[in-house]
């Protein structure tokens, strides 16, 4: 009797630890935040004040709030900015615990001003999209397909579409590249993407002085039990091997959160299809701020040669 009680207590303790691990890593509770109080970047970098101003500027740009449905029946939300119908449509995917207002305050605002019709997605579990579990691209890559289908139904099957993602959004669109994409998907642009969910989680553990070898088994198991997904199902580096569209990766060589070596691994998985560019000194998600002229030139050149 006593051994059984001890085992039950240990099991309950393990489940509690695993839930806390899941909650810290994969669960995101924030919902219904006022647009006028949209997230302001708090990271300390030379362009912080400029980024804060651009977040507010982007929040003030008129948009249409749109929705679609994911493959697992979640309502996904986003913003649509009407541009020049003669130009391609850009669908943008923000990062982990991010938002379009924050992550696309730089390049997204430029895309709008350049006249590109733009959909800025709220990733599942973020902001207007339903769900609470972030899966590092395992499920989000199929949400990319849902947004493509929405765009094709609304704008027609011949409208050229580009996918753009930043950080986890970059990893997500790269993972989606391995799916069967329609012919009007002309290219994918990934800004500071990770190569492998396990590798980025282990790296972040090290950044916060946690033992990655001890933490990882609990993180993986918590995803299986409470998130009901396999975090090792695939990687960006694996999926791009099956890509049928051109891909461009942009990364800051000053990024210590998602080191540039991670996106380089993705590029090396399919070097004939993926072009790779480094922005000098740029930190995570800040490539546009560090060198907007180079960033804009790269995006324009990529679209011109692939559309």
Instruction: Say how far apart CA 148 and CA 126 lie, in whole Å.
Output: 19
Instruction: Say how far apart CA 100 and CA 97 lie, in whole Å.
Output: 11
Assess contact for 192 and 170: CB atoms under 8 A: yes
pLDDT for the residue 307 = 86
Q: Residues 5-19, buried b or exposed e (16+ Cβ, 10 A)?
A: eeeeeeeeeeeeebe
Q: How confident is the prediction for the chain on average, in pLDDT?
A: 92
Asked whether the predicted pLDDT for residue 34 surpasses 60, the reply is no
Asked whether the predicted pLDDT for residue 68 surpasses 60, the reply is yes
Asked whether the predicted pLDDT for residue 39 surpasses 70, the reply is no
pLDDT in tens, 116-133: 999 999 999 998 999 999
Closest listed residue to residue 238, CA positions, set 306, 141, 96: 141
Mean pLDDT of 38-52: 71
Q: Which fold has domain 44-196+235-306?
A: Rossmann fold (3.40.50)
Mean pLDDT of 174-181: 96
pLDDT for the residue 9 = 67
pLDDT for the residue 38 = 44
pLDDT for the residue 36 = 40
Q: What are the domain boundaries of the chain?
A: 44-196+235-306
Instruction: Say how far apart CA 174 and CA 141 lie, in whole Å.
Output: 8
Asked whether the predicted pLDDT for residue 27 surpasses 90, the reply is yes
Percentage of the chain modeled with pLDDT above 70: 93
pLDDT for the residue 261 = 97
Return the number of other C-beta atoms located less than 10 Å from residue 158's C-beta.
8
Dig out the tokens for 283 from the structure.
């930190």
Instruction: Say how far apart CA 136 and CA 133 lie, in whole Å.
Output: 9
DSSP-derived letter for residue 307 is -
Give 151-156 contacts, CB < 8 A, sequence gap 24+. 151/89, 151/91, 151/119, 152/182, 152/184, 155/89, 155/117
pLDDT band with cut points at 50, 70 and 90 for residue 1 = low
pLDDT for the residue 17 = 87
pLDDT for the residue 42 = 55
């Amino acid at each position: 009797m006593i051994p059984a009680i001890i085992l039950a207590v240990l099991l309950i303790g393990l489940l509690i630890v695993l839930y806390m691990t899941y909650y810290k890593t994969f669960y995101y509770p924030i919902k219904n935040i006022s647009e006028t109080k949209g997230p302001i970047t708090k990271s300390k970098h030379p362009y912080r004040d400029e980024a804060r101003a651009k977040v507010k500027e982007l929040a003030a740009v008129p948009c249409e709030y749109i929705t679609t449905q994911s493959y697992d029946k979640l309502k996904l939300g986003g913003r649509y900015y009407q541009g020049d119908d003669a130009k391609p449509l850009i669908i943008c995917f923000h990062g982990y615990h991010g938002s379009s207002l924050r992550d696309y305050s730089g390049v997204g605002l430029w895309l709008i001003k350049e006249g590109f019709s733009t959909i800025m997605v709220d990733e599942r579990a973020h902001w207007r999209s339903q769900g609470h579990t972030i899966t590092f691209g395992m499920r989000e890559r199929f949400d990319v397909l849902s947004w493509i289908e929405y765009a094709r139904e609304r704008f027609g099957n011949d409208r050229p579409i580009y996918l753009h993602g930043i950080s986890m959004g970059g990893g997500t669109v790269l993972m989606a590249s391995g799916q069967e994409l329609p012919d009007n998907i002309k290219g994918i642009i990934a800004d500071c993407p990770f190569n492998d969910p396990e590798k980025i989680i282990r790296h972040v553990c090290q950044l916060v002085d946690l033992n990655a070898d001890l933490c990882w088994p609990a993180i993986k198991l918590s995803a299986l039990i409470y998130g009901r997904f396999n975090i090792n199902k695939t990687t960006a580096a694996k999926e791009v091997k099956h890509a049928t569209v051109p891909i461009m990766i942009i990364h800051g060589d000053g990024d210590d959160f998602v080191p540039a070596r991670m996106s380089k691994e993705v590029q090396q998985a399919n070097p004939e299809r993926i072009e790779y560019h480094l922005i000098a000194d740029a930190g995570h998600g800040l490539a546009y701020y560090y060198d907007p002229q180079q960033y804009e030139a790269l995006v324009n050149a990529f679209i011109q040669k692939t559309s």
